[in-house]
Amino acid sequence: MKNIILTGDRPTGQLHLGHYVGSLKNRVKMQADLENELFIMIADMQALTDNAKNPEKVSSNVLQVALDYLAVGLDPKRSTLFIQSQIPELAELTMYYLNLVSVGRVRRNPTVKSEIEQKKFGESVPTGFFIYPVSQAADITAFKANLVPVGEDQKPMLEQTQEIVQSFNHTYGDVLVEPKGVFPEKGQGRLPGIDGNGKMSKSLGNGIYLADSADVLAKKVMSMYTDPNHIHVEDPGQVEGNMVFTYLDVFGTDKEKIAELKEHYRRGGLGDVKIKRYLIDVLEAEFGPIRARREEYAKDPEAIMEMLKGGSEKAQAVAAKTLSEVKQAMGINYFN
């Protein structure tokens, strides 16, 4: 069956290894299946909902995210890469969807709720931020996506979208497609940061970025959280909660060697520097070529913007068609 897949990222920073294992790798895999049509969106409009006073942070990261996409192998010939703000149809759809969603319903969204708490917004939460799940429903439905691969935290957005689709179709007639969320398999979704404190994230400053040089990557691995009680090489060490082994489990291909290293580490006599050197090799094997491609693409930013322009035009044509069907169903297509 042909799938229409839509997903995206807020351009608030460069993408890191957490993004890579949690979503980018899977997108590249889906792209390889010719039955799949992919729309990959740089969600700058959504990023602006809590960065209104700092638009430069958002706009400057659009190119960075696009470079990350290309570097990991998303191919503009196969997937439509586009910028959300360049598709005004999405804002228009949002306005109509907002009428189908109560304030009480928006307030109950657990992800938005915890973000409001985290950011200490209280009553001064920007309205645009408060209702971004509705705008996300517009992103998804504009392309009639049936699959939306996202992280676990995006489950409430999918539920909200499904409700809007049901309400719209029930009220105005069958126009919209109800999407399904595709969530990472157990244990795949969340890569912890190098400090072992929760997931890798920009705000925690515990990330390894796709754009990091070989030097920076090596330094970050050397500073990784291991076993604080493993003081002398001879000491028995703990593998559980040791970020070097956590990362080896995620990125390593030689499972036998990793099992041996774990054994040795537990027994004692295997130093942190040794296992860190091995992890550096493992990461370089996967991310060295990605970094090299990124550097190549970064030489010609104009070509990247040109590619995004083409993708945005293509995306806009699709969204315009859906919007026209939406307006027709609502009976507000006065002039045609």
Q: Which stretch binds ligand TRP (CB under 6 A): 1-9, 32-40, 90-98, 226-234?
A: 1-9
Tell whether residue 136 is a contact of ligand TRP (CB under 6 A). Answer: yes
Q: Which stretch binds ligand TRP (CB under 6 A): 97-105, 147-155, 274-282, 303-311?
A: 147-155
153 marked as binding residue: yes
Tell whether residue 139 is a contact of ligand TRP (CB under 6 A). Answer: yes
Measure the N-to-C terminal CA separation of the chain; round to a whole number of Å: 34
d(CA 149, CA 122): 30
Among 90, 140, 221, 308, interactor with ligand TRP by CB under 6 A: 140
276 marked as binding residue: no
**How many residues bind ligand TRP, per CB under 6 A?**
13
C-beta of residue 33 within 8 angstroms of C-beta of residue 195: no
Interhelix angle for 243-251 vs 272-298, to 10°? 50
The candidate with the shortest Cα–Cα distance to 40, out of 117, 148, 127, is 148
d(CA 171, CA 297): 47
Among 21, 30, 38, 43, interactor with ligand TRP by CB under 6 A: 43
113 marked as binding residue: no
SS3 209: strand
22 marked as binding residue: no
Contacts of 266 (CB under 8 A, 6+ apart): 236, 237, 238, 239
Tell whether residue 27 is a contact of ligand TRP (CB under 6 A). Answer: no
Nearer to ligand TRP, 37 or 139 (CB): 139
Taking the complex as a whole, how short is the minimal distance between the CB of residue 32 and ligand TRP, in angstroms? 20
SS3 286: helix
Binding site listing for L-tryptophan: 139
Residues that bind ligand TRP (CB under 6 A): 6-10, 43, 46, 136, 139-140, 148, 150, 154
